[in-house]
Homo-oligomer: A and B are copies of this chain.
């Protein structure tokens, strides 16, 4: 690629920019952020050539534009792209995919993406060129996605250091509702429950490893968690219902005749699953067809390299 533009230089966008520059994924990499302080911080770290003063300059002639703003800001940036007449390939790093897909609409060359990496800290100051290296990067292969566009973005993700998980937008949203958004809601609920009166101070004072880990992500900035969870409301509601059903099962066992025996059986399935996670992966190779790529992603696999007709991958 000749030019890649990154719009939005928070934790993820900033990390994408840093890594795209250091890995030389294109002849030219340019970032832009609406906040002048963030642009100044990016200039300080990367020099003036890597930071544009306005969005039009950033995307001018770009082969790939990476949308890295929070979900609530996506409509405004899409509008700005239309205003400057940008028609090139577009990807994003937003943590929900169906809402962005709907906002992008038809007639845009768009491939939705989501790198599975993060930390509690946010903003450009927390950005790190290594944050995305080795992470699973969901890349949406929907009915309307042109396969050549998808492969171009996938090659760029690999160059940035990610491993590409091919999924539809709906499959992605259902999966992250389970492994990210629900854990965030649960962490907040556990934290609030521990602190509730009476005995809240004593409980927080006794909290050790299981409380620390179970609630770690509750310290995330509320607006970020709310944008992820609220932006994926439909899928997340389904997972909240499933969680409620499981807790109701556990509650019934707790009040039954033999809580310890019954719970031992109930816990054994999840124990075996978690003990085997993350899954052991084996190398594989697959043709570059829509069906083969989606089958890989649905099996929990990830592309690690793309050739002319086949891709290298790992899968559980």
Q: What residues make up the interface of A, taking CB atoms closer than 8 Å to B?
A: 71-72, 116-119, 135-136, 138, 165, 167, 171-172, 174-176, 178-180, 182-196, 199, 201-223, 225-227, 229-231, 233, 236-237, 239-244, 246-248, 250-251, 253-255, 258-271, 273-275, 277-279, 297-302, 316
Contacts and interface: CB of A to CB of B under 8 A. Distances in A.
Contacts of A248: 244
A264 B215 contact: no
A208 B180 contact: yes
A208 B118 contact: yes
Contact of A199 (B174, B231, B270, B302): B174
A274 B239 contact: no
A272 B131 CA distance: 26
Contacts of A172: 206
A214 B183 contact: yes
26 contacts: A116-B207, A136-B205, A165-B202, A175-B203, A178-B193, A179-B194, A179-B204, A179-B207, A179-B208, A182-B190, A182-B193, A183-B210, A188-B267, A191-B274, A191-B277, A192-B246, A192-B273, A193-B246, A196-B242, A204-B277, A209-B217, A215-B270, A216-B274, A222-B268, A226-B260, A240-B254
For A186, A216, A231, A248, the residue with the greatest tally of chain B CB atoms inside 10 Å of its CB is A186
A189 B254 contact: no
Closest 4 A/B residue pairs (Cβ): A205-B300, A230-B259, A230-B260, A226-B263
